[in-house]
Structure 1
């Protein structure tokens, strides 16, 4: 179950990363909720290996995996629903532009009512799913799991703290201004061999939200040959991060390759190219 589940979890996280700044999502006003959903899913994903191993002998873990699986199937459906409803709203918006006939006024009013209802329905579904996944992550089974990497990835664990929830305080014009300012700084520093920016602050100021918006900025997307968003858990290893970057860059590697071999492949992949990575 966990192997299929891991593929589903990865798929959902990738879908969320790809659509979170789409116009179809922005018109719904649910981007913050979807970012939170992505963060929660990524957090749980790192503990699936341990859950898979323990589920063979522990029925409680097996039940927990079943609950997570059901939630992920619902997440996949809700992501598709949000995209579909958002695209429909965009279509309705284009049809309800001011015109010369009274028909346009009627259509505009109808579209407005549909827009409010749709936003509410989709928002409620996403927030309900977020609460459901939050409860799954608070289950005593999850709290007992360990971040075990597949064979060959568990060497030299390091410890760091990373935010596991999306902060909501940075919104509206404030986050748009901050995003534009940092994107401009990144583009100015692009010509340097290496340029780093850190988004720092106390919990709740909107660091993760801001980083996600910067990463998905259309101007930034078109300015770099390669990009990688890395969601790093509290326990991680250098070899795990290297493999994750190579996977994001679609570079093939063997599970038994050493750190030096992986570094060599990464160097070859980015030689003569510009790349942007965001670690959260």
Structure 2
């Protein structure tokens, strides 16, 4: 279990300690030297944070070091807040405001007591931070500069528009074949299943969405419902969410028999399509129970399942699932090239094109990998950077292990320091959760993660830019607006990206 690196808190502390306000506070309470020492030691520790993040995955001792660091920087943050609060109260009293309530508070004895107490706390925090700094040489952390370049300024390039964040390549034939399967009626059964199987990142959900929103499918089925199952296959939760999708009703308090009755009222005798996305459950008993609860529906009703596991298909009685393969070579290059180069730029960098085509072949047609690497290489013209991706051991082994998470990790490793904790914070939301962008930015602000470069910048505006940058790196997807007239934007994370977070 890795620990979250407290980048944002460390940055806030250094900003406070370097400010004129804390210069004055240091003089007022006789701790100027201590605060300078705290600032100096924290700067030393800060230089090793990037290397500590990488090493803690391989070392429990380093992870414990990070945990100790988190404790002390949070205590230091509380300490500086108390100094600032006391200073504000003193200035308020000096101006004659609220004198009746506070005239006794700043008596000489109280003032001395505060200085004595805070002086001891300050020295204790400095000693703890000194111990942490001394361990840096033991771990051989390589000092690295944490860039203060704004995330929106990527080589002078502004972020892409939200609406252009996701490009779908290929899958025309796949979509047509699955639609044909869904529209095949059987004289033997009214409700049947189609199962899409493929490794993570192949675009099964995207393909299912293309099918789900196809105009022919919309016209063919009386009702369409979508539910992302992921790791939770509780039958009651499943039925409840099917009803929510079908009726838009809140049915949290209904029991299973009441839920089943509602299902019958809304679906019995009607041709419907139910999509169960990202299914992992291999419990035959649970599958049987959930299928029994579903109304039969009119002839031609279908359940479309997407899963990474062929065993899931076998458990629910599907011997010949629809297997999704990787993109073709030309489709893969089309996707990669559109993301790694600006329009018309390929001709200017033939050496990068040659390396890029080798990288694309190693991606095995997996769209999520292609998209992640393409966006990561955008506006990077150093040949050495492209070669480092080509030589990455996880990319080389992709064909053998089918494990794309270590490759996705490259995208995280290349994030500006300000964005790492903003991205990791999103792991707190459940998979497939539809998060409002504005709310997420406010939560980042509450955590102290937003770092404006200039005093006159609004935190909300900087947070919007953080969001845009994560979006252009494919770490967010499925962005949508509440309606065409409003600027209320939502996003989801791909389930593998959520695993990465």
TM range (shorter): 0.3 to 0.5
TM-score w.r.t. length of structure 1: 0.47
Q: Report the structure, 1 or 2, having the larger helix content.
A: 1
Larger Rg: 2
